[in-house]
Structure 1
């Protein structure tokens, strides 16, 4: 198998996995009202709408990193205080539409980017000093992030109305 075919298969597999975990998150909120999506029924302050909002913000930030490194990633200031909250003026439909837009942009970017392109990570206490991540590692991180929060969403949904997405 040629290197191009291997990369194409790898990219297809990565995109397919990310798409699957995004769908788990979207299915979890299907049929919910805005009020339900704002609820924080567990010991944490997480809500379903807030999780969708957070996963979108994280995906956008990491894709900026994939394109232009830490400088581009940090060029947009995120509202970390409200990043996990679904605010009164926000709707679940609006958050899902924004998430769809982000997913489509990510898919377009992944068609253009080389998975082996690497950038130094931002300076932060949770990153190894001087470490770099490839675009591939960014996509793997997005899969993990989305999957983890889809699991959180499933627990919250089950707490709200007994509905289970993944079990």
Structure 2
């Protein structure tokens, strides 16, 4: 029996970058109560929880478990939620945050066991046409970029809610 090989330097570097962005996502929300997390912040109507749910389902779950490895259970479940950006007011904030944490752990398992040069296993042509990404590396970089962009959105939302800013030295 052989041990699973440790991730190579590139995988470790990409995973470290992604984990930093994920910490930012959760960190900027620390201290907000359930009402603030559920409250729509921008005219488009999204809430902080809606953005986190989008990251859990449309980003972490979609790119790593559906697109990268073609998990059929995940692919079948993609249509279970009508609009991931909308979180029912009765859904506890902790449930959405815990789902994000779970999806990031599951994604990390994919990242540490999938070669960066691997071809993507599945793509929803019926929704998006031809894929614009072709390797697992490209998918990981896309998720890092999207997570970082949404961390910035949450920075702005948090400042609008209570004036708090992430990593501001005083």
TM-score (norm 2): 0.82
Q: Per the alignment, do residues 130 and 152 of structure 1 end up closer, same or farther by CA in structure 2, a change over 3 Å counting? A: closer
Task: Name the structure 1 match of 2:158.
Answer: 157
Task: Name the structure 2 match of 1:26.
Answer: 26
**Per-residue deviation, 1:43:** 2.4
Aligned residues: 161
Deviates more, 1:25-34 or 1:90-99: 90-99
SS at 1:75 equivalent: helix
Is 1:138 aligned with 2:139?
yes
- CA distance in 1 between counterparts of 2:8 and 2:25 reads 26
**Per-residue deviation, 1:72:** 7.2
Task: Name the structure 2 match of 1:82.
Answer: 83
CA RMSD of aligned residues (A): 2.5
Unaligned runs of 5+ in 2: none
Unaligned runs of 5+ in 1: none
- CA distance in 2 between counterparts of 1:114 and 1:75 reads 25
**Per-residue Cα deviation, 1:135-163 (whole angstroms, up to 9, x for no partner):** 11111111111111111111111111111
1:123-134 pair list within 5 angstroms: 123=125, 129=130, 132-134=133-135
Task: Name the structure 1 match of 2:119.
Answer: 118
Task: Name the structure 1 match of 2:54.
Answer: 54
Is 1:68 aligned with 2:94?
no
SS at 2:134 equivalent: strand
**Per-residue deviation, 1:28:** 1.1
SS at 1:22 equivalent: helix
Task: Name the structure 1 match of 2:109.
Answer: 108
**Per-residue deviation, 1:94:** 1.5
* Contact map agreement 1:25 1:150 (CA 8 A) in 2: yes
**Per-residue deviation, 1:41:** 2.5
